[in-house]
Amino acid sequence: MDELEATTVIRNNLGEKVRKLRKEQGLSQSNLAMMVGIARQYVIDIELGRKAASLDVLVRLSRGFDMSLPELIDGIDPEAPTMGASYAFGRIPKS
């Protein structure tokens, strides 16, 4: 997979995850947009994979969904290993 394809897959996967989380929390696109301080159209574009979310927006979304940033982005890159939130925060289980 080339870099452009990988970027498209990541954007689409993030969009699917944002849509899923939003619906699980019973939020409309407008509600989510107001909660995190972005335009409704930007939420739509993220969910449809049309636009990449900036780091600032990712942080705001993670706060809006009451989760850590690593939890929000975990699993969106199919070529990266999923480590889970505890590993991402340096809390590696002792063996």
Report yes or no on 11 lying in a domain: yes
Report yes or no on 88 lying in a domain: no
pLDDT on residue 38 = 97
pLDDT on residue 83 = 56
Report yes or no on 23 lying in a domain: yes
Report yes or no on 60 lying in a domain: yes
pLDDT in tens, the chain (95 residues): 788 888 899 999 999 999 999 999 999 999 999 999 999 999 999 999 999 999 999 999 999 999 999 999 998 887 776 655 444 444 444 44
Report yes or no on 91 lying in a domain: no
Report yes or no on 93 lying in a domain: no
Q: How far apart are CA 75 and CA 8, in angstroms?
A: 14
Q: How far apart are CA 10 and CA 31, in angstroms?
A: 24
CATH code, domain with 10? 1.10.260.40
pTM of structure: 0.81
User: Which structural domain, as residue segments, surrounds residue 10?
Assistant: 3-76
pLDDT on residue 81 = 63
Query: How many structural domains compose the chain?
Result: 1
